[in-house]
Structure 1
Amino acid sequence: MFPLSHQSIGFNFSSELALLALKGIGLQYVDSPAYSWDNRNRTDSHCILQYCLDGEGALEVEGITYPVRKDDAFLIDIPGPNHYYLPQGSDHWEFIYLEFTKECLPLIWKIHRAAGPVISFGADPSFLERILDIYHLALQDTLHSYFENSRVAYDLWMRMAEYVMSASAGEVSKADHAKTYMDQHYNQSDLSLDEIADQVGMSKYTLCKEFHKKYGVTPGRYLKELRISQSCRLLMTKTDYTLQEIAEMVGFANNNYFGKVFKAEKGITPDKYRNQAGKYDLVRAVYETPHF
């Protein structure tokens, strides 16, 4: 049995600022099959990090089921297409959960892309130690300031993102190979799922399942996002290129289709997106990692 008392603590904010903040934290032990949270129709709104201390739980996301064992944690958005519960074959599940404001959504999406919704922290005991520190702070009522609460929340998310990005960089799966292949060949308009699956030695069905499990999106969705992202970079930095040329450079067969997809993704046409950069004398492309 975990030595800490099983309690839950919530936080009320009185601020006009919209910061990533901790909304609640709790330590819980469940041993009943009735424990089940289907989040598709929930009315509350937050993001949750749930860390398994003992036993085993399960998380289902868009038809894919993930076991959640000791030192695993899952990250989800509520409401959302997910469901967590005590599965058959597990007699208990002990965990600590943290609820956050929706400002953490971009980080959740980034982490899902890199590692999926369930992360193993067995190689980093300091992460659990930090969560327990936060639990103690909440129990002792020392997070009085909204800014202090937010600072603690941001610190935890930065630690988590850094851990996931570092760990995922050293693990190469067939899904990773598929992503790399798309990163290298996205400019080919005839690039197909059949070709990608063949390159990594998987069936299309298995590729879609494994890719979604690893990155949180289908290969087709990832390819579309990649092409639009690259087109945004070119629209800002290659102002002498026509829209047709940019469309072809990122893998769209024609400018009309490119325009429709771009507007559906960004809410504006490629022309308007390019004109946004016109108010500056110089436009610099900023990359997530060093770009030479």
Structure 2
Amino acid sequence: MNHSEESRGPKQTSVSFHFITPMPYILLKGVGYELITSHDYIWDGRNRTGDHCVLQFTLNGCGEIETGGKRYSLKPGDAFLADIPGDHIYRLPSDSTKWEVLYFELSHLALHLLHEWIDINGYIFRIEQGSQLERLLWGTYREAIEDSYYDMYQCSRAAYSLAMALASHLVALASSIPLPRFVERCKAFIEGNLHQSIGLQDMAEFSGCSKYHLTREFESRLGISPGRYLTRMRLERAATLLLEPVNLTLEQVAEQSGFSNANYFGKVFRKYTGMAPGEFRKEGDLYQIRRVIRSGQ
């Protein structure tokens, strides 16, 4: 474990953890508090290397995150989850004098646990003052800087507690702000017809609204268009089929996941994942490929 205390603004306290484990545990990889006052504070996820995700929670002041071509202001109580590397930039904006934050670095497995609820709520969400989750964040931070996580298992315990509390929080948020019924119908239609030749017109007719309205609301709520969501779900289904012990042919995988033929399937799979289906079948890392697919939207 590395413990450092330095000054980028008036105050910064951070702790990083380095444990080597053969098991795929969710681990807490770093914890920190920072009061940011310099406009040189810019983190561009596209240029970063790493194997973790960041949960950053605004305590005071105002920050900014840019993702998917849009900018979002981050005020007290706002939090975001960012995959590293990933398509985002977060910074102290020019019209803000300070940004006070707590941040937590978790291994990528945490996103795998949370992805269903992130799809509904998005990567930016609220954590209310005095909530159970906020108390857990402060408790985890205090334990970390007091060197309470002295081995891999203590570190993993803290990470799972944080990830599970976050999942519960996101479930509650999703329940309090349900998706419009036609968006839910569209999602269900896509997920139930991945092997069929369907398009935006079919989705709109099943959902009971126009193509324009469906696309606008679907993307607004889920951060991805219906067409891209269909492609993503097909690729994830194909990745799962590639790893099945029955060793399906590429033609069978393509047919069962909704691609017109193996050649087209191979081109799309390589475009989104950077590898051919056969290469992936040898690698066999389903979580990693899902992360790549989802980060590419």
TM-score (norm 2): 0.70
What's the counterpart of residue 287 of structure 1?
none
Contact kept? 1:21, 1:101, Cα under 8 Å: yes
Q: Distance in 2 between matches of 1:228 and 1:39?
A: 24
Q: Which of 6, 12, 15 is the aligned partner of 1:10?
A: 15
Residues 221-253 of structure 1: CA distance to partner in whole angstroms, max 9, x if unpaired? 32134346667999999x9xxx9999778756x
RMSD (Å) for aligned C-alpha atoms: 3.9
What's the counterpart of residue 32 of structure 1?
38
Task: Indicate how the Cα distance of structure 1 residues 43 and 53 shifts in structure 2: closer, same or farther if over 3 A, else same.
Answer: same
Of all paired residues, the percent bearing the same amino acid is 29
TM-aligned CA deviation for residue 180 of structure 1 = 3.9
Is 1:101 the counterpart of 2:107? The answer is: yes
TM-aligned CA deviation for residue 82 of structure 1 = 0.6
Contact kept? 2:235, 2:269, Cα under 8 Å: no
Q: Which moved more, 1:100-109 or 1:156-165?
A: 100-109
Task: Indicate how the Cα distance of structure 1 residues 210 and 116 shifts in structure 2: closer, same or farther if over 3 A, else same.
Answer: farther
Residue segments in structure 1 that go unaligned for 5+ positions in a row: 274-292
Q: What are the within-5 Å matches in structure 2 for residues 155-170 of structure 1?
A: 155-170=161-176
Aligned length: 263
Q: Which of 129, 133, 146 is the aligned partner of 1:140?
A: 146
TM-score (norm 1): 0.71
Contact kept? 1:22, 1:99, Cα under 8 Å: yes
Is 1:224 the counterpart of 2:209? The answer is: no
Q: Distance in 1 between matches of 2:258 and 2:21?
A: 44
Is 1:74 the counterpart of 2:80? The answer is: yes
Q: Distance in 1 between matches of 2:150 and 2:96?
A: 38
Contact kept? 1:29, 1:92, Cα under 8 Å: yes
Q: Distance in 2 between matches of 1:145 and 1:160?
A: 23
Q: Distance in 2 between matches of 1:160 and 1:258?
A: 39
Greater C-alpha radius of gyration: 1
Residue segments in structure 2 that go unaligned for 5+ positions in a row: 1-9, 282-297
Q: Which moved more, 1:9-18 or 1:192-201?
A: 192-201
TM-aligned CA deviation for residue 152 of structure 1 = 0.6
Q: What are the within-5 Å matches in structure 2 for residues 265-284 of structure 1?
A: 268=277
Residues 99-132 of structure 1: CA distance to partner in whole angstroms, max 9, x if unpaired? 1223323135334312111011228711010010
Contact kept? 2:12, 2:35, Cα under 8 Å: no
